[in-house]
Structure formats: structure tokens, C-alpha cells
Amino acid sequence: TGLTALDYGFVNTASTQSAITYIDGDNGVLRYRGYAIEDVAANASFLEVAWLLIYGELPTPSELDAFDSRVRRHTLLHEDLKRFFDSLPHQAHPMSVLSSAVSALSTYYGDSLNPHDPEQVEISTIRLLAKLPVIAAYAHKKSVGQAFLYPDNSLSFVDNFLRLNFGTMAEPYEINPVLSQALERLLILHEDHEQNASTSTVRLVGSTQANLFASISAGINALSGPLHGGANESVLSMLGRIRDSGESVERFVERVKNKEDGVKLMGFGHRVYKSYDPRAKLVKESADAVLADLGMSDPLLDIARELEQIALADDYFIERKLYPNVDFYTGVIYKAMGFPTRMFTVLFAIGRLPGWIAHWREMNDDPRTKIGRPQQLYTGSAARDWPQR
């Protein structure tokens, strides 16, 4: 075929042009539509950033207001879809529940699946933004055996979500502004990260002209792996194992360096960042602030800090340019908020949803888009004669 380029893991091949997010991995720079992540995280709300990513500009106050009300109006799940949760085992991983329920959404909205109809794309966008947090909270409630609450649309996006997770029929949820602000900030930090594995999955599935729900469901599944979004869950399990085993942090790092049993320092390393992940810097500040605000301490945070300190001074990590990534400190905060470990990657998915939608729409709006179809270099047998039997 004349094909010579082989690029495992797409290390050197761009699959698209994109105007959404800029990353300079050598200098730890991340910008959404040109705005520095530090400014975005300090000043914007989650839905404001969603608008920025999807439509390209910051919304005016009235645009944001209308967007916010529209999202609030679509939070209800169809009662039949609520019963769908009953058919799944209670020990089901919430990420599997999430992707299945998002896939099931397309069965309820068959009238809005056409990727080429802007109005249908718009309503699917709103439905996803409104319903994903509700589905996520129900996945959580299901795992702890508690009744689902109806959304309270008088609350903000984040407060509504926290209430659905931590409120019960018996006791009203008391809003804690420290937790609400911290969660909003974490969600913003996850909103987009250009062509990562899940976003590329959303684009690849979407390039076949599959509908938005199907594409996002595929993205959630791609995110679930421990090398991607699943890392936040793996970090906390790793920290817990170190604490419970009584193994010193130094000894654990030695095992990582010797690649014993393939053990990795989860939450470290990144394909693009060869310096400190700017999101990790902000998350680390939040972890300290949230725990201080809540008057809590967590030995796992101490272990994480010690791991970071030892790794950053060690030649193995220095030579390979391995730094903490966004997943390294998030779990400590989610845990302090009361989320079980298995919900951590679900929180990442809620955060990443606007980015996935923005990329899917950018791809569909680009007349150069073609179905994604990687090539291969064939290494199998040459043509053979079928044996005479």
C-alpha cells in the first residue's frame, strides 16, 4: 500500500485540527479557547465553561442565564429509565451503570438523534448536561441501597448534584459552600483536555455519524480504564494499600522503579505533560484548602505528599519526566466529600462531558471530517493454499 508510518498509541500523528483546547506539555500550559486554566478555574462556573467550550466564546450574562435554566428544566429522568437501574446488580461499578444508562438515553429520544440537525444536536446537548449528573447520583444511590431523590431545580448544577448524592428522603441535604465550590472547581479542571483517549473515542464513534448519546457512552467506557480517568480510583486504592501494608513509601517507590509485577505510581506521568500538570497544581491547593476548611486530616494525603516528594527527587522519575497528573490528588478531596472510591471516575466523566460534546460538535461541523479508519501494517502470513483434506 506504500504505507510506512507506524505509530502505536498515536504518539506522533494528529487526527484532526481543533480550536478548543491548547496544551503546551513542556511548559505545563493549558488553555480553554485561549483562556488560561488558572483564570478559568478562579472565575467561572461549570456551565459557563461548558458554554465556552461548546460555543467558542464566553456567554453574556443573559445567555448564561438562559442556558442554565434550560439545563435545569431537563434534569428529570423518564420514570421507566429509573427502573432500568433496578435491573442491574447493586455491586455494579457506577461507571458501567453510567455508560449503560447514557446509551439507553438514545432509546428515549429517538426524535433527536440526527447528527446533522442543529436543533436536535442542541436538545441532546442540553439533555446530556442535565441528566448525566442525575444518572451518576442514581448510580451512587443504587450502590449504597438508598432511594433516588428527584432533582431540585431551584438549586445550582453542583448543589443539585451533591443533594442527589448525599440527601435522603429522611433528611434534607445541607449545602456546604466549601464542598460546592471545591467540586465546581474540580469539574472545571476536567472539562476538556483535547485529544485524550476518551475524547478521541467520542470523535471516532461520532465520525461514523452515530448519535451523540452513543458517542458519549463510548467515551465514558474509554475513560473508565486505569490509565485514563480510572486512575483517580486507582490512586486512592494504591494509597490505601500502602497504608494498610505498612510498607514504607521509599520501598513502594523502589518497587515501581524495578517495575515489580508491573506496579506503577498511579496518578503520575502523562503523554503530553513533560512538566508539572497545571491541573494537578490547582488540585493540590484545593486538597489542602478543603481538608483545612472541613477541619479534617487524612493520612492518605500525607502518603500522597510523601510519594510526590520522593518521586520528584528521584532519577527514575526525573529522567522520564514523570510528574503528578490531575488524578493524583483529586481522590483525597472526593473522599473528604463523602464519595465512595468507585464514584471518582464518574465525577471525572461529569466534568469531561462538555469537552466531549464540544469535540463531537466541532467534528460534525467540519466539512473535512471523514469516517475515522486507522490503517495497519500487516504482519501475518503471506497468501497460502487451502490444504487438501
Give the binding site for ligand CMC (CB under 6 A): 9, 196, 227-229, 231, 256, 264-271, 320, 322, 325-327
Q: Least distance in Å: CB of 331 to ligand CMC?
A: 11
CA distance 282 to 185: 9
- Which of 286, 325 has the CB closer to ligand CMC? 325
Active site residue 327: yes
- Which of 326, 337 has the CB closer to ligand CMC? 326
SS (H, E, C) 343-359: HHHHHHHHHHHHHHHHH
Active site residue 270: yes
How close are the terminal C-alpha atoms of the chain, in Å? Answer: 34
Q: Least distance in Å: CB of 276 to ligand CMC?
A: 13
Residue 85 DSSP code = G
Q: What is the CA radius of gyration of the chain?
A: 22
Q: Least distance in Å: CB of 259 to ligand CMC?
A: 7
Which residues lie below 8 Å from residue 98, measured CB to CB, with a gap of 6+? Answer: 132, 135, 136, 139, 220, 346, 349
| Cα of 155 vs its chain's centroid, Å | 23
- Which of 155, 231 has the CB closer to ligand CMC? 231
Which residues lie below 8 Å from residue 299, measured CB to CB, with a gap of 6+? Answer: 243
One of 228, 270, 277, 359 is an active-site residue; which one?
270
- Which of 187, 322 has the CB closer to ligand CMC? 322
Residue carrying C-alpha cell 498509541 = 9
CB atoms within 10 A of CB 12: 9
- Which of 196, 217 has the CB closer to ligand CMC? 196
Q: Least distance in Å: CB of 272 to ligand CMC?
A: 8
- Which of 209, 309 has the CB closer to ligand CMC? 309
Q: Least distance in Å: CB of 268 to ligand CMC?
A: 4
Q: Give me the residue whose beta carbon is nearest to ligand CMC.
A: 269
**How are the residues of the chain apportioned to helix, strand and coil, as percentages rounded to the nearest 5?**
60, 5, 40
Residues across the chain: 389
Q: Least distance in Å: CB of 174 to ligand CMC?
A: 32
- Which of 19, 227 has the CB closer to ligand CMC? 227
Q: Least distance in Å: CB of 228 to ligand CMC?
A: 4
CA distance 329 to 162: 20
| Cα of 59 vs its chain's centroid, Å | 23
CA distance 190 to 337: 17
Tally DSSP H helices, then E strands, for the chain.
17, 3
One of 159, 192, 277, 327 is an active-site residue; which one?
327
Residue 119 — φ and ψ, nearest 5°? -70, -35
CA distance 125 to 353: 10
What are the residue numbers of the active site? 270, 327
